[in-house]
């Protein structure tokens, strides 16, 4: 066999797991892991409509847990936003601990090739869901998801099964709340992206070799200016010329996956992209020149602002908010944090409550959070995502999973199945103590408000009572599909 060392490491890991298997897993984690972050009492919103606290909590996170509402009410909405915009200041020992078992997430690029590809995808996808459910840095996780779709890579192409793990860590997560220009540059030089959009095959060693335009096109259409951003086919072709020569090593074991610039495969001639001339002979510096051109192009600010507003405000983003958000993006030269700050302060954001439809991953995470579930997020949870067409890192085309409600309307059946399974504690690897939760709420009335994020309407209360106070009917209700 090819990888005896890794095999040994894996079996050593399983021995360690067996050693702890005597005790119940959650308790075992509690004993050896860090303490769970303390949360306040279970107070629930009591407006007839979603109030500002519940709204902001819902949009910046994967849904409230018991105690979150209380905490945000105590600290104030603006302080909560500020806190979430600075994930580095948030203690997330518990969240970090829960993903520590995914050993592959920490491996450098070269080492990743020692793993079997399905194991990498499994660990990366499960970790994504675990973080969505358990991380304290919720906005950071929401933004990581946003950029994962923006710079979508289907992890099944070429060497992507191995390289996506590095892309997730070093591109998406490293820059999720940083600077757009850094994020874009990291993505352009990400070996996974070079594989996925054929940048590695984009070479021009001689004048009769035609550049591969795949990445150049998506860079303009999906990553920066947007499809109506005012570029032409000629711009795509010139941009592709600028990007020739970037190569991903496939040969040597420990340098496999390393990105290198090959001057011989680069088109050294003069180019013109979006009206700006890139003089001949810059070599690999062409990359930074063109990335600077596209990053400061107003269409990019507008396109990114529109996507952010669609994500955080409404499927049809209000133009005034898009303008304000685009302005900040432009003036801060793509400062993601500052851009989000403008968005979250905008009146359109504060007003647009309860009308976005959760995507399947968000739905599952919010149900696990609202119920304070103890979940290992294994196969049973991932199976639901697969059936709902939302398995992480498996979207087939470069545009990423859609954010609008329409494409997800067909997923209700599996949401209802999940609600029922969670209610009846039939979901493998997941435990919910409903009785304790109801007790913490002090009865059904507060419990319903906790789940729905507002007072139940008469029909909701009726259905809940008619179903013997079953949480499933609340989790399966139209209100809980939205945020």
Partner 1 sequence: MASNGFVHGNPDHPHCLVVVFLRGGADGLNMIVPVEDDGYYRHRPTISIGKKSTMALDSLFGLNSELGALYPLYQEGDLAIVHGVGSEDETRSHFEAQDLMEHAGPSAGGWLGRYLRTAPRVIGGPLASICIGATQPESLRGAPASVVMESIQTLSLGEGAEGFMDGLAGLYRAEEEGIGRAGHSMLTALRKITELQHTPYVPAAGAIYSGDDFGHGMREVAQLLKARVGVEAVALDLHGWDSHIASFALMNPLMRSLGDSLRAFRTDLGPQMAHTTVVVMTEFGRRVYENASFGTDHGRGSAMMVMGGGVCGGRVHHAWKPLEDAYLEGPGDVPVTTNYRDVLASVFSRHGGLSSFESVFPGFAVAPVALYG
Binding site for partner 1 (CB under 8 A): 154, 156-158, 357, 386-389, 394-397, 405-414, 416-417, 420, 457, 459-460, 462-464, 466-468, 470, 472-473, 476-479, 481-482
Shortest separation between residue 406's beta carbon and partner 1, angstroms: 4
Q: How far is the CB of 465 from partner 1 (least distance, A)?
A: 9
The C-alpha atoms of residue 136 and residue 62 are separated, in whole angstroms, by 10
Please choose, from the candidates 435, 466, 464, the residue with its C-alpha nearest in 3D space to the C-alpha of residue 448: 464
Encoded tokens for 345: 């302060």
Tokens 């499809």, residue?
227
Q: Which is nearer to partner 1, 180 or 414 (CB)?
A: 414
CA–CA distances in Å: residue 473 to residues 143, 374, 382, 384, 433: 30, 21, 22, 18, 17
How far apart are CB 425 and partner 1 at their closest, in Å?
Answer: 13
C-alpha torsion sign, points 102, 108, 109, 114: negative
Q: Least separation, in Å, of the C-beta of 227 and partner 1?
A: 14
437/444 Cα distance (integer angstroms): 10
Residue 420 beta carbon to partner 1: minimum distance, rounded to whole angstroms: 6
**CA 166 to the chain's CA centroid:** 15
381 neighbors 414 (Cβ within 8 angstroms): no
Cβ of residue 203: shortest distance to partner 1, in angstroms?
Answer: 18
Q: How far is the CB of 45 from partner 1 (least distance, A)?
A: 19
Q: Identify the H or E element spanning 135.
A: none
Q: Which is nearer to partner 1, 116 or 463 (CB)?
A: 463
If you write DSSP's letter for every residue of 437-469 in order, what string do you get?
Answer: HHHHHTSHHHHHHHHHSSPPPHHHHHHHHHTTS
The closest of 61, 147, 88 to 336, measured between CA atoms, is 147
The residue (of 268 and 463) whose beta carbon lies closer to partner 1 is: 463
Could you tell me the CA-to-CA distances from 184 to 91, 216, 281, 288, 336 in Å, in that order? 28, 13, 23, 10, 12
């Amino acid at each position: 066999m090819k990888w005896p060392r890794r095999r040994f490491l894996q079996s050593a890991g399983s021995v360690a797991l067996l050693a702890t298997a005597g005790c119940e897993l959650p308790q075992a984690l509690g004993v050896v892991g860090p303490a769970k972050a303390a949360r306040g009492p279970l107070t629930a919103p009591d407006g007839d409509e979603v109030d500002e606290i519940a709204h902001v909590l819902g949009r910046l996170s994967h849904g409230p847990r018991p105690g979150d509402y209380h905490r945000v009410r105590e600290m104030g909405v603006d302080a909560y936003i500020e806190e979430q915009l600075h994930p580095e200041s948030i203690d997330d020992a518990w969240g970090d601990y829960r993903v520590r078992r995914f050993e592959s997430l920490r491996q450098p690029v070269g080492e990743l090739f020692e793993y079997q590809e399905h194991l990498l995808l499994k660990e990366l996808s499960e970790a994504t869901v675990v973080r969505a459910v358990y991380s304290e840095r919720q906005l950071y996780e929401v933004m990581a998801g946003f950029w994962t779709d923006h710079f979508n890579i289907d992890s099944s192409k070429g060497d992507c099964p191995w390289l996506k793990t590095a892309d997730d860590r070093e591109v998406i997560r490293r820059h999720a709340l940083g600077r757009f220009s850094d994020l874009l540059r990291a993505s352009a030089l990400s070996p996974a992206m070079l594989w996925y959009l054929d940048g590695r095959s984009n070479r021009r060693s001689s004048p009769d070799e035609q550049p591969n335009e795949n990445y150049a096109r998506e860079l303009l259409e999906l990553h920066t200016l947007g499809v109506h951003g005012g570029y032409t086919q000629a711009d795509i072709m010139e941009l592709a010329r600028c990007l020739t020569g970037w190569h991903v090593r496939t040969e040597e074991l420990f340098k496999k996956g390393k990105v290198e610039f090959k001057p011989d495969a680069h088109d050294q001639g003069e180019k013109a992209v979006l009206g700006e001339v890139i003089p001949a002979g810059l070599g690999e510096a062409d990359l930074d020149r063109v990335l600077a051109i596209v990053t400061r192009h107003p269409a990019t600010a507008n396109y990114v602002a529109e996507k952010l507003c669609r994500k955080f405000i409404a499927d049809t983003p209000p133009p005034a908010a898009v303008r304000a958000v685009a302005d900040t993006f432009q003036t801060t030269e793509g400062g993601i944090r500052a851009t989000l700050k403008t968005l979250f302060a905008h009146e359109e954001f504060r007003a647009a409550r309860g009308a976005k439809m959760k995507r399947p991953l968000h739905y599952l995470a919010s149900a696990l959070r609202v119920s304070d579930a103890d979940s290992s997020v294994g196969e049973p949870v991932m199976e639901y995502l697969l059936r709902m067409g939302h398995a992480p890192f498996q979207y087939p085309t470069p545009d990423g999973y859609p954010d609008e409600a329409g494409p997800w309307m067909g997923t209700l059946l599996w949401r209802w199945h999940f609600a029922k399974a969670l209610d009846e504690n039939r979901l493998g690897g997941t435990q919910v103590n409903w009785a304790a939760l109801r007790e913490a709420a002090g009865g059904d009335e507060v419990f319903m408000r906790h789940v729905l994020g507002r007072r139940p309407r008469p029909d909701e209360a009726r259905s809940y009572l008619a179903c013997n106070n079953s949480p499933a009917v609340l989790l399966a209700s139209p209100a809980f599909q939205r945020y």
